[in-house]
């Protein structure tokens, strides 16, 4: 995905996130935010842990992230990945549920 497309997606996510109070519960807002956040998480994993299968980590992190964390990550697509972004990804990845997911996903890849 090109940086231009990521920025356009992020801008749309922020716009929809800003409107979320008006369209509470909208799956469009959630889907756009999640998609943008997922791109950021994958970027962080690839940058900080080159050579690992980022998809295993990304899916588990996304599945265990709270809404506020997803919004923070989606914003990073526009503002750029910084220490707060990396910290957010690390916090989610350190949660017991996320660690269990990563372990199970890694093992299923071995025996899949």
| 110 vs 38 pLDDT, higher one | 38
| 87 vs 3 pLDDT, higher one | 87
pTM for the predicted model, two decimal places:
0.72
pLDDT for the residue numbered 111: 42
Residue 64 and residue 79: Cα distance in Å, rounded?
A: 23
Range 78-84 average pLDDT: 95
* Residue 33 near residue 41 (C-beta atoms within 8 A): no
> Which residues does 53 contact at the CB level (< 8 Å), separation at least 6?
109
Task: Tell me how far apart the 2 most distant CA atoms of the chain are, in Å.
Answer: 46
pLDDT for the residue numbered 70: 96
Q: Is 59's pLDDT higher than 80?
A: yes
Cα–chain center distance at 87: 12
> Which residues does 55 contact at the CB level (< 8 Å), separation at least 6?
42
For 18, the enclosing helix (H) or strand (E) is helix 3-18
């Amino acid at each position: 995905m090109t940086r231009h497309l990521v920025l356009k997606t992020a801008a749309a996510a922020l716009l929809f996130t800003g409107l979320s109070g008006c369209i509470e519960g909208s799956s469009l807002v959630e889907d756009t935010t999640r998609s943008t956040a997922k791109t950021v998480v994958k970027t962080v994993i690839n940058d900080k842990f080159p050579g690992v299968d980022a998809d295993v980590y990304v899916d588990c992190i996304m599945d265990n992230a709270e809404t506020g964390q997803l919004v923070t990550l989606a914003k990073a697509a526009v503002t750029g990945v910084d220490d707060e972004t990396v910290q957010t990804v690390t916090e989610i990845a350190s949660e017991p549920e996320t660690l269990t997911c990563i372990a199970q996903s890694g093992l299923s890849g071995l025996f899949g």
